[in-house]
Structure 1
Amino acid sequence: MSFKRYLRLLAKQISVSDKLDEIVKEYSDHMEDHMEALMEKGMSAEEAEKEAVYQLGDPVYAGRKLNKVYRKGVEWPLLTYFLIVSAAFVILRYFLPFRILPQEWADYIGLGTLLLGLLISALEKYEDLPLFYAWARDWNGGGITNSAFILAVSVYFFARNIKSALIWILLILVLLTLERYSIACIRDKKVRELLWEVGIAETDINSYKGYGFVNGKRVRLEAKEGIIKRGNIFIVVELHGFRPLVMSL
Structure 2
Amino acid sequence: MKNNSQSYLKEVQNQIRSKEAKEFVSAELDYHITEVQNEWIKKGLNEVEAEEKAVGQMGSPITLGQKLNKLYRPKVDWLTVILLVITLGLSFLPMLSLGNNFRDDSMNMKYYSTHKVIFILLGGIVAFGMMMIDYRKLEKRGWLFYTIGMLILFILTFFPTHFINGLPLVMIGPLTIESLMAIPFLFLAWATFFRDKRLRIWQLGVLFFLPYYFIFTLPSISTAYIYMAMVCIMFCWSQFSRKAIFSVLGVIISSFLIIGIIFWQSSAPYQKVRFLAFLNPEQYADTDGYMILHLKEIFSNAGWFGNSTATEFISEFHADLVFANLTSYFGWIFAIVLVFILSLFIARIVVIARKLHHPYGKLLLIGAVALYSVQLVTNIAMTLGFLPMISMSLPFMSYGLMPTLFNAFLIGVVLSVYRRKDLVASGFTNPVRVK
Q: TM-score, normalised by structure 2?
A: 0.28
TM-score using structure 1 length: 0.45
Q: Which has the higher strand share?
A: 1
- In our comparison, the structure showing a higher alpha carbon Rg is 2
Higher helix share: 2
